[in-house]
């Protein structure tokens, strides 16, 4: 007869000797006490005490890390995997929550504002560790499929809280249609981490969300960030976005130009958006004075040999000059110039938001919303954002310890 030898240490003691797991590293950077307290059942409420909200929150975060598709699968994993059970704070030999327990908890979590507060606190923590900069940000949206039953457009409730049909072009220019939501992300270009998010029905145009998202970002963080550059693709190329960023937020919009069917550059500008004068030569950017950008005659500064000379356009020995207030029409006469290396450098950083989207969807569980309603869709996105930032902080601390050692 085979007799199993007893172990000297308990399961918990054996686990404590092991190398720190990925989940433990992520959880170590989270302070969810306030969030748990806001959801925990008060002493005046009747009924069984239930499971500790801390353990339930950890379980939902673990679900995103391990890319567990459904609550049913999460319940099964917790039953079968003692290490996962232990990492989430449950008794190793105790009971684990049922699907209905998680379902009720998700309802409470979706109604709480503390999950969003936890996300913002993590962002500030990452900034304090110099992981996040916030001087350059980029904005973009990504599609989120909805597992609610798709309905025809004629039967969609258009109140901003129900999923609907959306269409977006992929990187190859192909039209993609889906039923569900859009996740709009304001992302830090340095760390490629999300700083703020909004969820809308899929049909909402990207351009209408940019300014509300920036306002939300400013309100959430107050004086924590001094953002200069806001980079976006041509889907955000609207006058009011430029004007608000420049005049309301004192920032610099770096947005790709959308010709919208026109076959020629705007009047007075060449294909690089530099001003030209009557002889057809490009004026030379000279300098920026306060709100004005100054251009000079190319013949006067030796950039070309105009057959008419300088006197054809100006009687001054200095040559023809043009001054433009870039705050009056920042879309066409913005600073830095669209043709400059500085503009292109900032625009190239826009791809940071695409990599942020990719990590949230390919390495985590963002594109796997199984709950109904816009509040639960946002809750799901926040859980994934929290995991991404917390994991980055934990990895940064680990690397710093290695350097010291």
pLDDT of residue 2: 52
Percent of the chain, pLDDT > 70? Answer: 92
Three-state SS at 249: coil
Per the prediction, the chain carries an average pLDDT of 88
pLDDT of residue 3: 52
Listed range (120-124, 217-221, 278-282, 384-388) with the worst mean pLDDT: 278-282
- Average pLDDT (166-179) is 83
pLDDT of residue 1: 52
- Ramachandran angles phi, psi of 92, nearest 5°: -60, -40
> What do you get for the CA distance between the two ends of the chain, in Å?
50
Asked if pLDDT for residue 382 goes beyond 90, the answer is: yes
Tokens of 73: 């699968």
Asked if pLDDT for residue 20 goes beyond 70, the answer is: no
Q: How far is CA 304 from the centre of its chain?
A: 46
DSSP-derived secondary structure letter, 331: T
Tokens of 319: 């040559």
pLDDT of residue 14: 44
C-alpha dist (Å) from residue 279 to 49, 222, 275, 298, 308: 83, 50, 12, 11, 8
Matching residue, tokens 């870039």: 326
- Residue ranges, CATH 3.30.420.10, the chain: 133-257+349-383
Distance of alpha carbon 243 from alpha carbon 241, whole angstroms: 5
Q: Is the peptide bond before 218 cis (omega within 30 degrees of 0)?
A: no
- Average pLDDT (236-246) is 96
DSSP-derived secondary structure letter, 224: S
Least Cα distance to 186 among 195, 173, 175, 178 occurs for 195
Distance of alpha carbon 277 from alpha carbon 299, whole angstroms: 11
pLDDT of residue 399: 85
Least Cα distance to 293 among 274, 270, 265 occurs for 274
Distance of alpha carbon 372 from alpha carbon 149, whole angstroms: 10
Tokens of 30: 């989270």
- Average pLDDT (206-216) is 97
pLDDT of residue 271: 84
CA atoms 138, 225, 160, 237: torsion sign: negative
Give the pLDDT confidence of 120-168 residue by residue, as tens digits: 999 999 999 999 999 999 999 999 998 887 788 888 888 888 899 998 8
- Average pLDDT (337-353) is 94
- Average pLDDT (271-286) is 85
At the second CATH level, the architecture of 133-257+349-383 is 2-Layer Sandwich (3.30)
Asked if pLDDT for residue 82 goes beyond 50, the answer is: yes
C-alpha dist (Å) from residue 140 to 20, 104, 145, 355: 35, 33, 17, 11
Distance of alpha carbon 106 from alpha carbon 84, whole angstroms: 20
pLDDT of residue 8: 45
pLDDT of residue 247: 94
What number of helices (H) and strands (E) belong to the chain? 13, 9
**Ramachandran region, residue 57 (left: φ > 0; alpha: ψ -120 to 50; beta: rest):** alpha
Q: Which residue has the higher pLDDT, 127 or 4?
A: 127
Three-state SS at 394: helix
Going by pLDDT thresholds of 50, 70 and 90, the confidence category of residue 17 is: very low
């Amino acid at each position: 007869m085979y007799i199993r030898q007893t172990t000297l240490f308990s399961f918990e003691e054996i686990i404590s000797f092991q190398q720190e797991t990925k989940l433990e590293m992520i959880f170590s950077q989270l302070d969810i006490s306030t969030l748990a307290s806001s959801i925990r059942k008060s002493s005046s409420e009747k009924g069984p005490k239930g499971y500790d909200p801390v353990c339930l929150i950890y379980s939902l975060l673990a679900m995103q890390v391990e890319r567990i598709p459904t609550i049913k699968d999460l319940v099964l994993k917790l039953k079968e995997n003692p290490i996962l059970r232990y990492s989430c704070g449950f008794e190793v030999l105790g009971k684990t929550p049922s699907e209905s327990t998680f379902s009720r908890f998700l309802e409470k979590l979706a109604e709480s504002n503390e999950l969003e507060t936890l996300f913002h606190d993590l962002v500030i923590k990452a900034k304090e560790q110099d992981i996040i900069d916030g001087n350059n940000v980029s904005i973009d949206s990504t599609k989120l499929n909805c597992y609610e039953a798709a309905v025809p457009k004629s039967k969609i409730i258009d109140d901003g809280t129900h999923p609907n049909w959306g269409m977006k072009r992929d990187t190859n220019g192909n039209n993609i249609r889906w039923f569900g939501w859009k996740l709009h992300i304001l992302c830090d270009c340095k760390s490629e981490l999300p700083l703020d998010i909004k969820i809308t029905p899929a049909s909402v145009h990207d351009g209408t969300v940019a300014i509300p998202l920036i306002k939300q970002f400013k309100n959430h963080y107050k004086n924590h960030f001094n953002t200069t550059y806001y980079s976006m693709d041509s889907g955000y190329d609207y006058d009011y976005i430029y004007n608000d960023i420049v005049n309301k937020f004192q920032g610099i919009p770096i947005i790709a130009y959308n010709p919208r069917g026109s076959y020629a550059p705007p009047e007075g500008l060449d294909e690089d958006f530099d001003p030209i004068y009557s002889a057809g030569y490009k004026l030379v950017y000279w300098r920026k004075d306060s709100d004005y950008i100054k251009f000079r005659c190319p013949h006067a500064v030796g950039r070309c040999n105009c057959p008419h000379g300088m006197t054809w356009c100006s009687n001054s020995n200095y040559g023809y000059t043009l001054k433009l207030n870039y705050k009056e029409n920042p879309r066409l006469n913005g600073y830095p110039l669209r043709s400059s290396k500085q503009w292109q450098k900032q625009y190239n950083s826009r791809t940071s938001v695409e990599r942020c989207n990719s990590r949230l969807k390919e390495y985590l569980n963002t594109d796997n919303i199984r709950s109904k309603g816009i509040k639960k869709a946002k809750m799901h996105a926040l859980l994934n954002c929290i995991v991404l930032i917390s994991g980055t902080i934990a990895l940064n601390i680990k690397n710093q310890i290695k350097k010291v050692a």
